[in-house]
């Protein structure tokens, strides 16, 4: 019986993780949960899975949560410190991070410092502090197991292979809902349009990132940290989202991982690694798939991808700034404060205004993150 601490239980990854747990009660037990602000769903999850410890990030809703679960034998914490407590719970065998955004960094670091293996869906943790996070994992003999479908695919394709055999990593991208849009068409994109992803059911922020291809840019950075910063990473658009990623080896052989576009598949692999178990999910029916297509990404229409690649190439605090600027700009678009086409331009301006410094400690990350958020907010206010 593997005991699991789950960060971000009310989000898309969290809900799917709990679905896998519920389908396999003989294999997994939830010992701790954290959530952001969705009190209603969180309370339902607490009653169903009966964790010993829970934490609600939004402290203003703590009383509302206590009203709903106060009769249960559960310790209730709040704020960022509560999330770290969930991540470091001594009983946990595995910590799953499904938190969205930079809020996932401190709990992830806490888990690694406690020597916990970390099943990571929160790509921002490695985007903003990759070098520091990997050092922490190595120092405490803790393993990072990727959950993102693309990185899980790479992780699986590399099973038993040596890093020096890799020629390049090929990250696949769906292209999002605007894959065939012209620049002119993209000027009139609405929030509703951008939230209509053709293949995946995700939260609002990640769905917008997918539409701008920033999500793939963040995954590019994450792949560099997970599989070697000097490893060549190539992005290719694969609209069907059936091949989740590929590895080309030095002998030009390519190994691909295929599967249905359902996050429960890579989640289950992360929960059971290095084992696998039988799944109730439908198998991929290749005979009915038709053609699988591939095309190069267009960075003129999707400049966020190039911005992310540039940030990784320049390094230091620039990926931190990229991520923070993107989080603020995406939220501004969701709040209808800026048009869709301005997301990339605002990020570009913030990156241009930043003077990168080396990441020597976590405070450098926090300082760069705060600066970028303030700078992005200022630019949005001034220009809109």
Domain CATH for 113: 3.40.50.720
Q: Are 215 and 304 in contact (CB under 8 A)?
A: no
pLDDT band at 378 (very low <50, low <70, confident <90, very high): very high
Residues 234 and 373 in one domain: yes
Question: pLDDT tens digits for 68-82?
Answer: 998 999 999 999 999
- 317-360 residue pLDDT tens: 999 999 999 999 999 999 999 999 999 999 999 999 999 999 99
CB atoms within 10 A of CB 59: 15
Examine the domain organization and report whether 106 and 220 are in the same domain: no
Segment 104-111 mean pLDDT: 96
Quick one: how many helices (H) and strands (E) in the chain? 16, 11
Specify the pLDDT at position 200.
Answer: 63
Write down which residue in 146, 178, 196 finishes a domain: 146
pLDDT at position 384: 75
| 142 and 259 co-located in one domain | no
152 is a domain residue? no
Residue 167 shares a structural domain with residue 104: no
pLDDT-derived band at 38 (thresholds 50, 70, 90) equals: very high
- pLDDT in the model for residue 206: 87
Give the residue numbers spanning the domain of 10: 2-146
pLDDT value for 44: 98
* Helices within the chain (DSSP H only): 12-23, 39-49, 62-69, 79-87, 105-113, 124-139, 149-157, 183-186, 191-194, 204-212, 214-227, 264-272, 303-314, 318-334, 342-353, 362-383
Same domain, 232 and 316: yes
Q: Side-chain half-sphere of 336: how many Cα atoms within 13 Å?
A: 5
Structural domains counted in the chain:
2
Residue 155 lies in a domain: no
Question: Given a cut of 90, is residue 13 above it in pLDDT?
Answer: yes
Q: What is the mean pLDDT of the chain?
A: 95
Question: Is pLDDT at 197 greater than 90 in this prediction?
Answer: no
Residue 163 has pLDDT above 90, yes or no: no
Q: How confident is the model at residue 66 (pLDDT cuts 50, 70, 90)?
A: very high
**What is the pLDDT, as a whole number, of residue 196?**
84
**One domain, residues 128 and 190:** no
If asked whether residues 169 and 316 sit together in one domain, one would say yes
Burial 201-212 (b: 16+ CB within 10 A, else e): ebbebbbbbbbb
Residue 22 token pair:
């519920």
CA-nearest of 113, 115, 58 to 83 is: 58
Q: Are residues 177 and 213 in the same domain?
A: yes
Evaluate the omega torsion of the peptide bond into residue 182 and state whether it is cis, within 30 degrees of 0: no
Average pLDDT estimate for 215-235: 95
The SS3 of residue 90 is: coil
Asked if the structure places residue 156 within a domain, the reply is no
| DSSP letter assigned to residue 93 | S
Q: Is the pLDDT of residue 201 over 70?
A: no
Spatial contact of 344 and 296, defined as CB atoms under 8 Å apart: no
Cβ neighbours for 58, distance < 8 A, ≥ 6 positions apart:
36, 37, 78
Burial label for 54, CB within 10 Å (0-12, 13-18, 19+), is buried
The answer to whether residue 202 scores a pLDDT higher than 90 is no
Domain boundary among 84, 113, 146: 146
Average pLDDT over residues 104-133: 96
Q: Do 132 and 189 have their domain in common?
A: no
The stretch 194-205 carries a mean pLDDT of 77
pLDDT digits (tens, 9 = 90+) for 256-296: 999 999 999 999 999 999 999 888 899 999 888 889 999 99
Query: Is the pLDDT reported for residue 216 higher than 80?
Result: yes
Q: Is the pLDDT of residue 383 over 90?
A: no
Say what the pLDDT of residue 160 is.
83
Give the CATH number, domain containing residue 206: 1.10.1740.10
Side-chain half-sphere CA neighbours of 241 within 13 A: 19
Residues 228 and 321 in one domain: yes
Q: What pLDDT is stored for residue 320 in this prediction?
A: 97
Does 165 lie in the same domain as 134? Answer: no
- Are 107 and 238 part of one and the same domain? no
């Amino acid at each position: 019986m593997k005991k699991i601490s789950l960060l971000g239980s009310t989000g898309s990854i969290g809900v799917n993780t709990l679905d896998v747990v519920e389908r396999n009660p003989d294999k997994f037990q939830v010992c701790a949960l954290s959530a952001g602000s969705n009190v209603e769903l969180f309370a339902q999850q607490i009653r169903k899975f009966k964790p010993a410890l829970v934490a609600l990030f939004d402290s203003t809703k703590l009383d509302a949560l206590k009203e709903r679960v106060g009769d249960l034998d559960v310790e209730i914490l709040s704020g960022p410190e509560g999330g770290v407590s969930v991540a470091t719970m001594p009983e946990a065998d595995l910590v799953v991070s499904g938190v969205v955004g930079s809020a996932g960094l401190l709990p992830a670091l806490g888990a690694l410092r406690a020597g916990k293996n970390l099943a990571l869906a929160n790509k921002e943790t490695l985007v903003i502090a990759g070098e520091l996070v990997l050092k922490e994992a190595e120092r405490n003999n803790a393993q990072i197991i990727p959950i993102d479908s693309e990185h899980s695919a790479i992780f699986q394709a590399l099973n038993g292979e040596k890093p020096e055999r890799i020629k390049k990593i090929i990250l696949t991208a769906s292209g999002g809902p605007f894959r065939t849009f012209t620049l002119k068409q993209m000027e009139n994109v609405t929030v509703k349009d951008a939230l209509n992803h053709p293949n995946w059911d995700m939260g609002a922020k990640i769905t917008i990132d997918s539409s701008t291809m920033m999500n793939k840019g963040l995954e590019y950075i994450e792949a560099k940290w997970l599989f070697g910063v000097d490893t060549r990473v190539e992005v290719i658009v694969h609209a069907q989202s059936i091949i989740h990623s590929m590895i080309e080896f030095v002998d030009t052989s390519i190994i691909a991982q295929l599967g249905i576009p359902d996050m429960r598949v890579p989640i289950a692999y992360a929960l059971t690694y290095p084992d696998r178990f039988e799944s109730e999910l439908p198998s991929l029916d290749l005979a009915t798939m038709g053609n699988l297509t591939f095309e190069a990404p267009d960075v003129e229409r999707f400049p966020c991808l190039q911005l992310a690649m540039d940030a990784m190439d320049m390094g230091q605090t620039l990926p931190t700034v990229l991520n923070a600027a993107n989080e603020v700009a995406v939220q501004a678009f969701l709040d209808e404060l800026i048009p869709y086409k301005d997301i990339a331009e605002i990020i570009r301006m913030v990156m241009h205004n930043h003077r990168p410094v080396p990441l020597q400690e976590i405070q450098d990350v926090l300082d760069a993150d705060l600066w970028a958020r303030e700078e992005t907010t200022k630019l949005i206010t001034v220009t809109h």
